[in-house]
Amino acid sequence: MSVHKSVQHDSALKQACGAARYLDDIPEPKALLHMYIAMSTHAHADIKSMDLSAVENARGVQCVLCAKDIPGHNDISPFGGDDPLFAENLVEYVGQSLFAVAATTRELAIRAAMLAKIEYTPLPAVTTIEQARNAKLTIEDAKTITKGDATTAIQSANYRTQGSFVMGGQDHFYLEGMIAMALPLEDGDVHVYSSTQNPTEIQHLVAHVLGKTQKDVTVETRRMGGGFGGKETQPAIMAAACAIAATKTGKAVKCRLDRDDDMKMTGKRHDFIYGYDCGFDDTGRISGLDIILESRCGRSKDLSGPINDRAMFHADNSYDLPAAKITSHRYKTHTASNTAFRGFGGPQGMIGIERIIEDIAHQLDKDPLNIRLGNAYGDDKDNITPYGQIVKDAVVKEILQELAESSDYRARRSAIREYNKTSKFLKKGISITPVKFGISFTKTFLNQAGALVHVYADGSVHLNHGGTEMGQGLFIKVAQVVAEEFKIPLTQIKISATRTDKVPNTSATAASSGSDLNGMAALNAARKIKLRLIDHAAQKFKCAENDINFKDGMISGNGQSISFENLARSAYESRIQLSATGFYKTPKIRYNPVTLMGSPFYYFAYGASVSEVIIDTLTGENKTVRVDILHDCGKSLNPAIDKGQIEGGFIQGMGWLTTEELVYDDAGHLRTHAPSTYKIPTIGDRPKTMNIEIWDKGRNREETIYRSKAVGEPPFMLANSVYCALADAVSASSGYKFRANLNAPCTPEEILRAVTSLTNV
Amino acid sequence: MRDHIQFLLNGEAVTERHLDPTMTVLQYLRERRMQTGTKEGCAEGDCGACTVVLSELVDGKVRSRSVNACILFMGTLDGKEIRTVESLGTPDAPHEIQQLVAEKHVSQCGFCTPGIVMSLTALQASGTQKTKENIGEALAGNLCRCTGYGPIIDAAMAMTTDTNTNDTSAELSALRHDETVELSANVYGIEKRLYDPKTLDQLTRLITEHPIATLLAGGTDIGLWVTKHHKTLNKIIYLGNVEALNTIIEDDDVLNIGAGIKYADAINQLGALYPHMNTVMRRIGAAQVRNLGTIGGNIANGSPIGDMPPLLIAADAKLVLHSKEDERTIPLQDYFIDYGQQDLRTGEFVKSIIIPKPRTSQNYYAYKISKRFESDISAVCMAMSFDLVNGICSNVRIAYGGMAATPKRAEAAEIILEGHNWSEENVRKAMAVLTSDFTPIDDMRASKNYRMQVAQNLILKAWLEQQSDAPLHVLGADI
């Protein structure tokens, strides 16, 4: 079997040897120009004048581009029509692209850009959610999902909890920054190399700015040095600017953003203010919940609509809500347009209810796990989400119970409470939280994929599909699927770069859907060829097609056998087509994007985690010391790769909730735009003990690729237990008298603030 | 003067003349040598994707350490060796570390992987014992956004200890280590020049001749002037090969640390004297930064947020300032006059730092507060020293970084304790008067309120630790 096996990443050795080529490692074309994109220094201003004459005359400069130089449309938005490639008269965030310079070296391009004379007329800048709320500035109308009558349910409940808290945004901090390179072709066409999760989108947008059609543009992506959602829409700036400069100058043009510029220019995870009002009974069972989600979308729509929709779809997390009202406000601010980031709004929507559960447990003086189990979807519930989808595989209770057992959660919780009695300044906390994450793009038409498989006459196989590789192991998983279908070793398959001229009209590699969609499409293509090979072998062996058997690189039937290589040769010589395209579309999903009611998801992925933390109540310093995870990957295609996603997702989520703080000043300048000031987890932040298990009972009830489940995003939200454990420790500093009022990220400063606020009650 | 540098690149001797002395090693590797295995992640020495191994001869032996190629200037390489990921193995014939990295699923996106391989190579070459702590210390400067680090630790634990297959002492000895080097190049019409003197005399003469030259030691700060601020440094005097600046002289009473001594060279000796200094110093930057950055540089550049100044001011360190005419010794705290202003005369340079050894009655506590434990700049750094005889404090020195425009002593708080009882009551009084010592600011690292509150609490923390004689820290807690 090639599937369900821990095969190492296809590029692992090349990466370890520095031989895996990222975009900037491709040998450079002759006379390559290097581009720098100049950025706005104002959050909101009219551009009074922009004098670029000194830039044009600077040493080494061969091309300067601004809005008027765009041959096609000045828009690189995914669908909103509101993202100019270059600002025209107005700037709406610090970091917005103004113009581009292409010069003989990168340094000369940067130095030339510094010579621009730009005059602004500053306008009032709205940079925070509160300011946008007051100014009533939105990117689109608020949306609401209702189930039952939440208001009455809350008012008639015996118990009630209310509150609000803030969760910060997050920079993707992919290690490879944004980069693109465009090669001019004949007929004014371009070949664009882009570090993107979405080659088709880049192709479409490059054609759009060039005033051409998609056939005139080819986009190629072999691999990214990390994406995490940040390379879904954002790479368009670099790709489009390079493409214009390349067609203008007739030379290849490369644009590689410096880390600081990357962080200033591109969008991030949305920060949210989460407000709640919840009614419940003396067992902790929720009767009604009213949630208000307010998000900072930045200057344009980008993907904020679907991101906020997903936040709403995940406000229930794993819990059955008899009555719920979920309202979502999408605010416009004069900051970079926030964008996709692993979880796509899910984490922000989901973490709130975990806090609410902790509140309920605190009020009733119960173990939060009991409250979780009491509210979780399962046999005893109607299992209808607030948006009307029936949860058919409610396994979350089972996972929670198994994990509580294996992690010794209850005994450890008691021990921690004992420890906190005697430890005056250091306090420990613990929490167990579940994850239920909906799988499918909420824009239903995106749930499609294509693949292209060639079997050459020597039996070697070329594999191509619409998914992109950003480290998540998609390419090896899809190769495993094809190897399994042909029963050949993986070494016989060449994994190739994603290209829009091989597989057209693809969706972004996003929404955790990569393997589900592309694995199925590749299987479809491989199966077409396999059926032709079976037909050929049956004729050759003079037996029925049913009697043909593929095993270990051999094809046998009727007492005869032939190697895959020789069968391919024989089929070729018999003029049989050994190339096929494959296609897949996700079944069963349908919902109304206006009312948000229906079944947007094909299935759900589940998991749970226990985090134990310790805080210092004098300094707010904190550390996650032990984590236990049980995660449902269905029947994992590749347990090693999936485990990597689980651990990596958790640590990234932990970073979002602890050390990663985006700080803006009042004028809208991001003050944390490099790793010197923006702190993603380091090796020492990894909990000393991390027990990660893939749930051995996992099996997708839907017919996904080999019954596996998507695993890219769901583990990110396992880190919610870190936030709840920190809140538990903060509450311990008051002898559990008060619940913690904790915002995220829980930096030392935030922890100390929360501790101090309890002391001063 | 010699007009060229000589160094080893992956074992091969290279001579370069007319090379931009501030070209970074990363740029040289990727753009001149087409060796693209080494990656740029941040260009400021904070992510480790560009990690290479820098080797030099120390007492006739090869000493190999991880450094960030993105902020290392080519002009500093004379007589040294650079090893990159390409020197180890290929996908067909991988080095043990590369094989382990692949097998243990260390790479996902793989962009940080070459840097991690090189940090592991340096760890292997150091012969350091393989414990989780040492592995953590070796890799704290290598950010990975994909894995969560578990597989990296597994691979590191599985690698064998140094087999010393890469002894290039003969090749390194064969390079020239004499004479001042003057490396110059015309870059975009600007003449750029780097002097690399080898003796104190040569250095003093050069500084006298070129008083406006930039003095370059480790370059962990100056590197960013070039890579981030695009500043042209047209005249540089490099201090790294001046022997007199690169020695530690120990006698019965003091350590005299040359200004060119790197954190990595001083950490053990200083740490043995002041255990709390050890703890904080191991959290300055990460291995790659401590392997380049110097204690003298951390002081000389006058930053209000450097960690060494408060650590050393509390220890009553003195600064030796040298010029052609004169050599003078001043208390370290007097060096810092105001933001961007230091007591350094034209033609003068920091020669060494004199650090007294602790007295038996001396107590010394130091704390670093930052958003992240590893590789982060302090929001507040505090060090406190006092003698305790019969319950009475004397020689009280409390110094802070991050609380003012310069590293500064908390004079009002010191007065409360000086000559008085070491009691919780007095500790709390000292905490209270800290508001008259400092008016901290808000910035991206912390708010002024947090800075003040935590600065106060750190005095209490010292009190608590002194009372219980046990560390009170989330990292040290027994869990």
Question: What pLDDT digit, counting tens, does each position of A91-125 carry?
Answer: 999 999 999 999 999 999 999 999 999 999 999 99
- A195/chain B closest Cα distance in angstroms: 12
Q: What CATH number should be reported for the domain whose range is A31-124+172-265? A: 3.30.365.10
| B contacts of A747 (beta carbons < 8 Å) | 371
User: Does residue B377 share a domain with residue B256?
Assistant: yes
| Catalytic choice (A92, A484, A713, A750) | A713
Q: Do B39 and A17 touch (CB under 8 A)?
A: no
CATH number of A448-585: 3.30.365.10
How many independent structural domains does chain B possess? Answer: 2
B270 falls in which pLDDT band (50, 70, 90)? very high
Q: What are phi and psi for residue B222, nearest 5 degrees?
A: -60, -30
| Residue listed under structure tokens 């929360």 | A754
Q: Which residues of A touch B479 (CB under 8 A)?
A: 428, 612, 614, 625-626, 688
Q: Is the pLDDT of residue A761 over 70?
A: no
The minimal CB distance from A425 to the residues B142, B153, B464 is found for B464
pLDDT digits (tens, 9 = 90+) for A622-657: 999 999 999 999 999 999 999 999 999 999 999 999
Q: Is B45 left (phi over 0), alpha (psi -120 to 50) or beta?
A: left
The torsion angles phi and psi of B42, rounded to 5 degrees, stand at -145, -20
Q: Do A425 and B139 touch (CB under 8 A)?
A: no
Crossing angle, helix B96-103 and helix B113-126, to 10 degrees? 130
A713 within 8 A of A437, measured Cβ to Cβ? yes
Task: Check B145 against A623: CB less than 8 A apart.
Answer: no
- pLDDT the model gives residue B477: 52
Within 388-417 of B, beta carbons closer than 8 Å to A belong to none
> Complex ipTM above 0.90?
yes
Q: Is the pLDDT of residue B476 over 90?
A: no
Strand, coil or helix: A610: strand
Q: Which of A6, A13, A17 to mutate to test the interface with B (most CBs of B within 10 A)?
A: A17
Q: Are residues B457 and B330 part of one domain?
A: yes
| Shortest distance, CA A556 to any CA of chain B (angstroms) | 33
What residues of chain B lie within 8 A of the CB of A683, using their CB? 135-136, 139-140, 142, 144, 149, 152-153, 374
Mean pLDDT of chain B: 96
Asked whether residue B348 is domain-assigned, the answer is yes
In a domain, B214, yes or no: no
- Which of B34, B116, B372 to mutate: most A Cβ within 10 Å? B372
Q: Is the pLDDT of residue B161 over 80?
A: no
Tokens read off for B303: 């930053």
How confident is residue B478, by pLDDT bands cut at 50, 70 and 90? very low
* Residue A613, pLDDT above cutoff 50: yes
Helices (H), ranges, A463-516: 474-486, 514
What percent of chain A clears pLDDT 90, i.e. is strictly above it?
A: 99
Q: What is the 3-state secondary structure (H, E, C) of chain B?
A: CECEEEEEECCEEEEEECCCCCCEHHHHHHHHCCCCCCCCCCCCCCCCCCEEEEEEEECCEEEEEEEEHHHCEHHHCCCCEEECHHHCCCCCCCCHHHHHHHHCCCCCCCCCHHHHHHHHHHHHHHCCCCCHHHHHHHHCCCCCCCCCCHHHHHHHHHCCCCCCCCCCHHHHHHCCCCCCEEEEEEECCEEEEEEECCCHHHHHHHHHHCCCCEEECCCCCHHHHHHCCCCCCCEEEECCCCHHHHCEEECCCEEEEECCCEHHHHHHHHHHHCHHHHHHHCCCCCHHHHCCCEHHHHHHCCCCCCCHHHHHHHCCCEEEEECCCCEEEEEHHHHEEECCEECCCCCCEEEEEEEECCCCCEEEEEEEECCCCCCCCCCEEEEEEEEEECCEEEEEEEEEECCCCCCEECHHHHHHHCCCECCHHHHHHHHHHHHHHCCCCCCCCCCHHHHHHHHHHHHHHHHHHHHHCCCCCCCCCCC
- Separation of alpha carbons B372 and A622, rounded Å: 9
Among B42, B145, B148, beta carbon nearest to A686: B148
pLDDT value, residue B312 = 98
Can you read off the two tokens belonging to residue A685?
Answer: 């932040």
For residues B260 and B376, membership in a common domain is answered with yes
Q: What are phi and psi of B216, to 5 degrees?
A: -115, 125
Q: Which residues in chain B touch residue A228, judged by CB atoms under 8 angstroms apart?
A: 145
pLDDT at B162 over 80: no
Same domain? B98 vs B8: yes
Question: What is the helix (H) or strand (E) element at residue A525, kind and residue range?
Answer: helix A520-541
User: Domain span at residue B92?
Assistant: 1-175
List Cα–Cα distances, B248 to A331, B273, B350, in angstroms. 59, 14, 14
CB contact under 8 A, B147 and A640: no
Please tell me which residue of chain B has the smallest CA distance to A622: B474
pTM above 0.80, yes or no: yes
> How large is the angle between the packed helices A304-313 and A346-364, nearest 10 degrees?
30
User: Among A12, A651, A663, whose Cβ lies nearest the Cβ of B107?
Assistant: A12
Q: For residue A115, give how far its alpha carbon lies from the nearest alpha carbon of chain B (Å).
A: 13
The span from the CA of A85 to the CA of A199, in Å, is: 17
Q: Which residue of A has its CA nearest to B473?
A: A616
Q: Are residues B23 and B123 in the same domain?
A: yes
| pLDDT at residue number B176 | 85
CA distances from A549 to A1, A3, A461, A531, A569 (A): 14, 18, 19, 12, 18
* Beta carbons of A176 and B446 less than 8 Å apart: no
Gap from B345 CA to chain A (nearest CA, Å): 31
* Residue B164 reports pLDDT greater than 70: no
Mean pLDDT confidence for A208-214: 98
Phi, psi of B318 (to 5 degrees): -120, 155
**Predicted local distance difference test score (pLDDT) of residue B166:** 77
* Angle in degrees, 0-180, between the axes of helices A748-759 and B448-468, rounded to the nearest 10: 80
Contact A15 B143 (CB under 8 A): no
Give the residue among B157, B218, B206, B216 at the shortest CA–CA distance from B179: B206
Say which of A9, A258, A426 has its CB closest to residue B474. A426
Give me the residue from B107, B445, B457 closest to A15, CB to CB: B107
What CATH number does residue B339 fall under?
Answer: 3.30.390.50
Q: Chain B interface, mutation test: which of A15, A195, A612, A673, most B Cβ atoms within 10 Å? A: A15
Which of A201, A197, A199, A202 has its CA nearest to residue A225?
A197
Using an 8 Å Cβ cutoff, are A630 and A398 in contact?
Answer: no
Nearest Cα residue in chain A from B455: A619
Nearest chain A residue to B120 by CA distance is: A16
pLDDT of residue B479: 41
* Contacts with B353 (C-beta within 8 Å, 6 or more apart), sequence order: B256, B257, B259, B295, B296, B299, B312, B317, B318, B319, B320, B332
- Domain stops at, among B175, B192, B224: B175
Asked if B367 and A619 come within 8 Å (Cβ–Cβ), the reply is yes
Q: Would you state the pLDDT for residue B471?
A: 81
Nearest Cα residue to A267 out of A306, A239, A241, A228: A228
- Residue B195: inside a domain: no
Residues on chain B touching A20 (C-beta within 8 angstroms): 110
Cα–Cα distances (Å) from A176 to A224, A256, A587, B38, B145, in that order, read: 7, 10, 35, 12, 10
User: Could you tell me how many residues make up chain B?
Assistant: 479
In chain A, the percentage of residues whose pLDDT exceeds 70 is: 100
Task: For residue A665, give the 3-state DSSP assignment.
Answer: coil
Pick the last residue of a domain from B149, B175, B201.
B175
CATH number at residue B2: 3.10.20.30
Query: Could you confirm whether A119 is annotated as catalytic?
Result: no
Contacts of A681 (CB under 8 A, 6+ apart): A651, A652, A654, A655, A658, A659, B148, B149, B372
Domain spanning A272-442+593-759 has what CATH number? 3.30.365.10
Q: Which residues of B touch A749 (CB under 8 A)?
A: 371, 379, 446-447, 450
Closest partner residue to A13 among B91, B147, B475, by Cβ? B91
Asked if the C-beta of B112 comes within 8 angstroms of chain A's C-beta atoms, the answer is yes
Token duo for residue B127: 């012969």
Average pLDDT of chain A to the nearest whole number: 97
Contacts of A18 in chain B (CB under 8 A): 35-38, 84-86, 114, 117
| CA–CA distance, A544 with A534 (Å, rounded to integer) | 9
Q: What is the mean pLDDT of residues B273-298?
A: 97
Asked if the Cβ–Cβ distance from A17 to B37 is below 8 Å, we say yes
Q: What is the DSSP letter of A494?
A: E
Q: How far apart are CA B97 and CA A276, in angstroms?
A: 51
pLDDT reading at B399 higher than 90: yes
pLDDT at B106: 97
Task: Work out the average pLDDT over A365-385.
Answer: 97
**Beta-carbon contacts of residue B123 (< 8 Å; ≥ 6 apart):** B66, B130, B134, B135, B138, B139, B156
Gap from B273 CA to chain A (nearest CA, Å): 25
Strands B327-331 and B214-216: unpaired
Judge residue B362's burial from the number of C-beta atoms within 10 Å of its C-beta, 0-12 exposed, 13-18 middle, 19 or more buried.
Answer: middle
Please give the pLDDT value at position B128: 86
Contact residues, chain A, for B377 at CB < 8 Å: 676-677
Structural domain includes residue B183: no
Query: Last residue of some domain: B113, B141, B175?
Result: B175
Provide the pLDDT for residue A601: 97
CB contact under 8 A, B477 and A681: no
CA distances to A99, A197, A207, A216, A673 from A243, rounded to whole Å, are 14, 18, 9, 11, 27
Residue spans of beta strands (DSSP E) within A257-323: 272-280, 286-298
Of A9, A111, A622, the CB nearest to B230: A111
Are B144 and B256 found together in one domain? no
Interface test with B, best of A258, A623, A631, A683 (most B CBs within 10 A): A683
Q: Report the pLDDT averaged over residues B73-100.
A: 97
Q: Are B71 and B227 in contact (CB under 8 A)?
A: yes
CB contact under 8 A, B102 and A756: no
Let me know if A513 is exposed, middle or buried by CB neighbors in 10 A (0-12, 13-18, 19+).
buried
